[in-house]
Structure 1
């Protein structure tokens, strides 16, 4: 049964993609037209849609703590985990992408300029991951290099060092990361980009986030208390979260007695494992699978960037507020990668339109249930499947051809990373 679960599906394999058959400039113009149409209708209703989901996450957390003092139990742990995941994938993710910034009347703390800055980090989004580090690693490097070798979240590239390991070892590594990846992968790897950038500035060198992301050494070096970087990582990432997630709630519950304190700590620990597993399933599977594409070079121009966002991303089967909430709105990953600074409600409206555009231009639009994508993610991690390696460069025009048409401007490529 395990062998069947991990075996490759012949029917699911993607055919090689031929970019010469696609009018990329026309596709890009229509993608930009959808953006203009959506931006024109943005209003407070979109913020209220977002805020209801933010409040739902807070309510789940409160209910988890309220019931968690009674006894160690999976329900309280799951409630706490869902609240944590909502703050990460729905609130922090979209606010830090500036999704609320252009909506008039939005409170300042829901805008990227104020969210999780300074002491507001304790209120808005306290996690192992430092908000500043997430902003660089995710918003800049991942989004502008999706599926490229320089994408810090390219799973197939990140597990390349296990190529000679046995399947058992690979499965063990996958299981370890599934339950701990925010502290064992995301927090240290993102923080190192910031630390290396700060060191670069102290040396008087120009910013180079790409080089910092692929720096020497392992991201596990961030845990080394003997180094200045390690001590900074513990001070800014590890200790604040240990305090906020485990120490403070347990201390408050201790007012009700030792059993309440023990129950709170146990449920908090269970919630941590569940939140890691949940986010691993809905995040890591977004860009991994034998039917998705990766790229050996850097994109050139907005049209090719748009194409790669679609070819290298996958949507989950979505529909309905509950399902979208449970997926952290990552079920609309294709639309999010085309329009990262638009709110969740916009992604819901755009999904059928983007899917229709992809069908019109013959561009693969992959959408499957999350557990199917989790299986394909696992196959990539253990080496039983490989992603499509695709050339998305258009054939060079002959000297006698007309001048190359300009790709229309848009928000996605407005800020290219250093």
Structure 2
């Protein structure tokens, strides 16, 4: 922590008081915060439906005209991009804050926007159809990640999770190929089975059963069968079979267009979500910790030292980042509405300056490069001695 106050010399009690005062300054969440959420939801829906409209347009043009390769791929890639952005928005801009309970205390909002009812039961197919399920992701993310940040128990500790790669004899060029390929499929390949594994281990721990060390893909195991039955197949069936078949009135060519574009949108959404999520806590200038935090002030300190922001400041910029560009503020107060992060960001930055703490904020593209360097083993997380 060169040039900044060492971990053990930070006045954690004063830091806690300063950060707790932010909530007093901001006031309680209000209808204005909820209206802001609805605006973000509309923006995401617009992108999604624009993508499907472009599929219809492309299929109509193919039925009545000769469509050249350039026009085909221009429309197809535009449709896939729009659908990909809509996909990421639904997860990052809507599902993420709602499942943290950010809008639970706002009076008179529809129950579907509260953490208790959002995407539960049949509403999963309306609110948030994805590779993940809300119960598994909420426990993995809201509990294990947020309250074990940078520890070995943090399920999103990239350095720990990729020991198999960084300690292997795999040549460096192939490591890069593996990581870049992983970015396009990380949600179904890693995130869905891992969130289920962590949720199952919660139940197994209560029953005093041995934990599942690695996520299981085999449908011939109890955990693997549940993964396929409840997580993967519903998403595949609806997203890649049912919805493309809705285009059948325009012919099988339209169905194939929808399938191809949906597949491209999925790859784009995976890459986009990886880009804005993973670098938040993974680079050679981010800290890891060997022991749990002991006080609230220490908890706040770790969120600052273990997180990084991207560029911030306007709704369009924040929208494309999924509001994950306010990662420091979000980790300090994960239950706040999105719009309040814009207000508190300069306050948090001032508090960090007051305590001589590093406040990391850089371009998301620079942070992605730094994250990849960590993932292939060229760098390591920083470590606070004895902590």
Shared fold per TM-score greater than 0.5: yes
What is the CA distance between 1:199 and its match in structure 2?
A: 4.1
Structure 1 residues 359 and 306, CA, compared in 2 at 3 Å: closer, same or farther?
same
Maintained 8 Å contact 1:16/1:388: no
What is the CA distance between 1:36 and its match in structure 2?
A: 2.7
Question: Which residue number corresponds to residue 176 of structure 2?
Answer: 171
Structure 1 residues 260 and 113, CA, compared in 2 at 3 Å: closer, same or farther?
same
Larger mean CA deviation between 247-256 and 354-363 belongs to: 247-256
Aligned runs of 1:117-128 on 2, under 5 Å? 117-128=120-131
- State the TM-score, normalized to the length of structure 2: 0.92
Question: Which residue number corresponds to residue 142 of structure 1?
Answer: 145
Counterparts of 2:348 and 2:203 in 1: how far apart (Å)?
39
Tell me whether 1:101 sits opposite 2:118 in the alignment: no
Question: Which residue number corresponds to residue 380 of structure 1?
Answer: 374
Maintained 8 Å contact 2:100/2:334: yes
Out of 250, 267, 271, which is 2:265 matched to?
A: 271
- The superposition leaves residues 366-413 of structure 1 with CA deviations (integer Å, 9 ceiling, x where unpaired) of 0000000000001101111112111486xxxxxxxxxxxxxxxxxxxx
Question: Which residue number corresponds to residue 151 of structure 1?
Answer: 154
Tell me whether 1:242 sits opposite 2:243 in the alignment: no
What is the CA distance between 1:15 and its match in structure 2?
A: 5.8
Maintained 8 Å contact 1:14/1:292: no
Question: Which residue number corresponds to residue 69 of structure 2?
Answer: none
Out of 222, 225, 249, which is 1:228 matched to?
A: 222
Counterparts of 2:48 and 2:219 in 1: how far apart (Å)?
32
- The superposition leaves residues 114-161 of structure 1 with CA deviations (integer Å, 9 ceiling, x where unpaired) of 001000000111110111110110000000011111111011111111
Question: Which residue number corresponds to residue 91 of structure 2?
Answer: 88
Structure 1 residues 373 and 14, CA, compared in 2 at 3 Å: closer, same or farther?
farther
Maintained 8 Å contact 1:60/1:80: yes
What is the CA distance between 1:92 and its match in structure 2?
A: 0.6
Counterparts of 1:20 and 1:205 in 2: how far apart (Å)?
37
Structure 2: runs of 5+ lacking an equivalent = 59-71
Out of 361, 364, 367, which is 2:361 matched to?
A: 367
What is the CA distance between 1:244 and its match in structure 2?
A: 2.2
Maintained 8 Å contact 2:51/2:81: yes
Larger mean CA deviation between 249-258 and 323-332 belongs to: 249-258
Structure 1: runs of 5+ lacking an equivalent = 1-12, 394-418
Question: Which residue number corresponds to residue 25 of structure 2?
Answer: 37
Question: Which residue number corresponds to residue 7 of structure 1?
Answer: none
Maintained 8 Å contact 2:4/2:356: no
What is the CA distance between 1:318 and its match in structure 2?
A: 1.4
- The superposition leaves residues 197-252 of structure 1 with CA deviations (integer Å, 9 ceiling, x where unpaired) of 34455xx449xxxx85xx42x32x2x201112111110000011102211111110
- State the TM-score, normalized to the length of structure 1: 0.85
Question: Which residue number corresponds to residue 188 of structure 1?
Answer: 193
Out of 352, 355, 359, which is 1:358 matched to?
A: 352
Counterparts of 2:346 and 2:335 in 1: how far apart (Å)?
18
Counterparts of 2:51 and 2:386 in 1: how far apart (Å)?
48
Counterparts of 1:200 and 1:236 in 2: how far apart (Å)?
22
Aligned runs of 1:53-64 on 2, under 5 Å? 53-64=40-51
Maintained 8 Å contact 2:4/2:358: no
Q: Where does structure 1 differ by over 6 angstroms across 4 or more consecutive aligned residues?
A: none
